[in-house]
Structure 1
Amino acid sequence: MEKKITNPWKWQDSRSYVQAVEVKNVESTLYVSGQTAINDEGISSDEDMKTQLTKAIANLEKVITKAGFRCDGIVRLNIYTTATSELWPHFGILQDWIAKHNIKQALTMLEVKSLFETLKVELEATVVK
C-alpha cells in the first residue's frame, strides 16, 4: 500500500490531521462503525467527556486490531460530539493517540444534537492495509 499526503498549508499539522490522503495498491479496506464509550456488556457511559473520549479511542483501537488491521492504516476519521466546547479541553488525548500510531488521516468533526443514550463522543474510521 502507498499513501500520499496532500497539505497545501501548514496550519493543520498542529491539529493532528491532513487535508487529503491518496491510497494506492490497497490490499483491503475496513469501514469501522462509530465507536463510543460503551463497555463490554453494552452499557453506555454516563461519565464526563474525557472519560468517554478515552474509552471511545480504546474501543476504536480494539475493533481495528481485532479485524487484523493497524491504527496507522487509518485514512479517514470522523468525530461526532454533542459538545465541542467539552471536547476541546481533552483533544490532546486524541492528538497523542494519533501521534503514537503515526496516523495521517483526513478528519471531520461535527457537533450533533445528540448521540445514543448518554454518549457524548463517537469516532468513525476508514482503515486500509
Structure 2
Amino acid sequence: MSVQNQFKVPRRRVFNSLIAVGLASVALLSTNGHAATNTESKLDRTIVNPWDWREYMGLVQGNEVKNVSSIFFVGGQASVDEYAATVHPGDMGKQIAHAFDKLEIVLGEAGYELSDVVRLTYYTTDIAKFRKEFGPTLERLKAKNCNPSAALIGVAELANPDLMFELEATAVK
C-alpha cells in the first residue's frame, strides 16, 4: 500500500489540517466580531492609479475601500493536491491557473468572489516565466472584475522544491 493511500482522509479534513500546520492560512475578520454578509453594507471602492501602465500589468496601485463589514485573508494557495504534493511540476502556466482555481474555491467557501479581492501577492521562482505565462490569468481576472493592487516577488524556493508559483489574497465585503 502506498503512503498516500495509507493516510487517505477526507478532503475537508486534509484542508483543515493544512491550515492548522501553517501550509495554508485563512482568516475572516469582521468589524463587529461576527461573520458579516455583503447585504450589511455597500462598499465604497476607489481605485488609485496615478500611472497608465497598470492596464498592461493588470494591476492597480491602490484600492481605497470604505464601509467594509468584513476582511478575508487567504494565504498559501499553490498548485498542490490534497496531500500537499505539487501538481503540474515544471509548468508555470498550469501552476498559476491551478492556484487561482484553489483561490476561487477558498473564496467561495467563505461567500466571496474574485471581484471582492483587493490585494494579491504573487511569489514566483522565475519572474520571466511568470510574465510569459500570466496572460490567461490576467484575462480571467479582468473577466471577473478583479482589480487588485498586487505585488510580484521573486523567491529562491517555495514550500515544495518543484513549486514555481504561490499567491496570497485579501478580499473585502
TM-score calculated relative to the size of structure 2: 0.71
> Do structure 1's residue 56 and structure 2's residue 122 form an aligned pair?
no
1:62-77 aligned at under 5 Å gives the runs 62-77=105-120
For CA contacts below 8 A with separation 6 or more, give which structure has more relative contact order: 1
- Using the aligned pairs only, state the percent identity: 34
| 1:63 Cα offset (Å) | 0.6
Gaps of 5+ in 2: 1-42
- Residue 123 of structure 1 is matched in structure 2 by 167
Question: When the two structures are superposed, what TM-score results if normalisation uses the length of structure 1?
Answer: 0.94
1:90 maps to which residue?
A: 133
Give the corresponding residue for 2:26. none
- Find the aligned partners of 2:68 and 2:82 in 1 and give their Cα distance: 31
TM alignment of 1:39-54, pairs within 5 A: 39-45=81-87, 46-54=89-97
CA RMSD of aligned residues (A): 1.1
Instruction: Report the counterpart of residue 26 of structure 1 in structure 2.
Output: 68
8 Å CA contact 2:62–2:149 kept in 1: the answer is yes
Structure 1 residue ranges (4+ consecutive) displaced by more than 6 angstroms after TM superposition: none
Q: Check whether the contact 2:90–2:164 (CA below 8 A) recurs between aligned residues.
A: no
Work out the number of aligned pairs and report it.
129
How far, CA to CA, are the matches of 1:76 and 1:100 in structure 2? 17
Deviation at 1:16, TM superposition (A): 0.8
Q: 44, 60, 65: which one pairs with 1:2?
A: 44
- Secondary structure in 2 aligned to 1:33? strand
Match of 1:11 in 2: 53
Structure possessing the higher radius of gyration over alpha carbons: 2
Unaligned runs of 5+ in 1: none
Shift of 1:40: 3.0
